Amino acid sequence: MALPELEHREWRSKANQRYGTAITEGLLMASRDGVTFKRWNEAFLPPGIEREGTWNYGQQYIAWHVVETKSALAGAPNELSLYAGENYWTGTSSALRRYTLRLDGFVSIHAPMKGGELITKPITFTGKALTMNFASSAAGGIRIEIQGADGKALPGFTLADAEPQFGDTIERTMTWKNGSDVSSLAGKPVRLRFVLNDADLYSFQVQ
């Protein structure tokens, strides 16, 4: 076996084959009602680079609950912390490692520099400012067009009117040439057209 610590794996297998051959990693599950869940089988928290105490049964076993914590970076917003076990059954003790995500940072819509688009289903909202949680490269960015339910761009909110947004922030207000106020569209069914270049869109909301 090419993975680290073969001797430990063979020793654990004497008690139960699973202890020596199974490998743990974290997956992502989500639910809108707390009853029906969707599970993605791609690793959300994989075992990481091979080293002592890794790639074994119990490593990357995630502790209950995601915790909102302050960032270690001065001036940065709060982040989400995940805690996972490491060095399980090897060495002299187990370790607990902290992993971090941006707020609402579990999944994103990504587009390369050549570009990509996302158009929502018709939605209604209340509020007056459309905000985004997003990240882009210095040369990339996001623009947003607001369309009617029929897919036609609304005057003042066309792609040509949209001010390009670039950076890395959990809350940026979208602006067009006439400003940021979208309250005139509140309660009406609209579609949002996101045009991305080398960017990730994590979430959006109207406040």
Q: Which residues belong to CATH 2.60.290 in the chain? A: 109-206
CATH 3.40.91 assigned to 109-206: no
pLDDT digits (tens, 9 = 90+) for 134-155: 999 999 999 999 999 999 999 9
* 193 sits in which H/E element: strand 190-206
- What pLDDT sits at residue 1? 59
- What pLDDT sits at residue 6? 87
- What pLDDT sits at residue 12? 87
Closest CA to 142 of 172, 101, 179: 172
Residues of the chain falling short of pLDDT 50: none
Q: How far apart are the first and last CA of the chain?
A: 55
